[in-house]
Structures are given as structure tokens and as C-alpha cells.
């Protein structure tokens, strides 16, 4: 086991087969951010020892993995599309607040200068695409039917 840079690396028996795995746990988290295979030692029974260079590589890999997950989550919760509608170019954004008890979403519109045009609460399952954005803008930002 190694600890440093806000991470803990722990080599453990791989429950799925006869090999070994390494789990990377970010400080303050209870679950591993990343679990990957670990190399067998020369005796083909025990794991290869974890050294400083391997730990640094694991920290970089786990950090990048967490960063990508955060980017994916952000992209799925905050979407935007710029459309050309009857009133000109409009940026329509959908911001979703994931909440187990009360999930919600807000659709908003701004013109090319960034001036706020409209805002509307929608279902978190609302699909923002070019057609739905143009329909909302051309419909003078009217309340959308629930789908």
C-alpha cells in the first residue's frame, strides 16, 4: 500500500481470478475511483511490489479517470445549443439539478450579446436538440408540453 498526493494505492487479491488488482482511492472517498489489474511477482503467486514510479503512474491514471468522469457528468447536466430562429441566433441552455427526491431542470435562452431572453422549468428528462430549441424560441418561449 502507498499513500500520497491525495491518493491511496492498495494491492489486493483479484476476486474474479487468481491474479492481483490495485485499487486507487481518493482521499475522503469510501469507494475506489479506479481498480485495475496488477502484475504477478516472479514466483507467480504473490503480487509484484508497488514502488514509487508505479504509484506516480497510478495517481496520474486515476486522476485523469476521475477528471473525465467529472467532465462527462458536467456535460450531461449542462447542455447548450445555439440555433438560428425567427428572432435570430439564440443560445438555449438546459441545466439539470440531479436530486433523488426533487430533480429539476431549467431551460434558458440568451441572444448573441448574452442578454437574457427567457427561462422555463422543464422535466429533467427534457431532450435538448436543435428542433426542440427552435420550437421553443419560435414559440416565443411558451411553456412546453410535458413529455
Confidence check: pLDDT of 145 > 80: no
Give SS3 for 75. Answer: helix
Could you read off the pLDDT of 10-56 as tens digits, one per residue?
Answer: 999 887 777 899 999 999 999 999 998 898 888 878 888 889 999 99
* pLDDT attached to residue 110: 95
Q: Average pLDDT for residues 121-134, to the nearest whole number?
A: 92
Say if residue 85's pLDDT is above 60: yes
Q: Yes or no: say if 128 and 79 are a contact pair by the CB < 8 Å rule.
A: yes
Domain layout of the chain by residue ranges:
2-75, 77-138
DSSP state letters, 86-108: TTEEEEEEEEEE--SSS-EEEEE
pTM, two decimals, is 0.66
Amino acid at each position: 500500500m502507498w499513500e500520497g498526493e491525495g491518493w491511496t494505492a492498495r494491492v489486493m487479491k483479484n476476486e474474479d481470478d487468481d491474479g492481483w488488482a490495485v485499487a486507487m482511492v481518493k482521499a475522503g472517498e469510501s469507494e475506489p475511483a479506479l481498480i485495475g489489474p496488477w502484475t504477478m511477482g516472479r514466483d507467480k503467486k504473490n503480487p509484484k511490489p508497488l514502488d514509487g514510479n508505479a504509484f506516480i503512474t497510478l495517481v496520474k491514471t486515476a486522476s485523469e479517470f476521475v477528471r473525465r468522469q467529472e467532465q462527462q457528468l458536467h456535460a450531461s447536466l449542462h447542455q447548450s445549443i445555439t440555433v438560428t430562429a425567427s428572432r435570430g441566433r439564440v443560445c438555449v441552455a438546459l441545466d439539470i439539478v440531479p436530486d433523488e427526491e426533487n430533480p429539476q431542470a431549467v431551460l434558458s435562452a440568451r441572444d448573441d450579446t448574452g442578454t437574457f431572453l427567457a427561462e422555463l422549468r422543464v422535466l429533467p428528462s427534457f431532450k435538448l436538440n436543435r428542433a426542440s430549441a427552435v420550437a421553443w424560441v419560435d414559440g416565443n418561449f411558451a411553456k412546453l408540453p410535458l413529455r
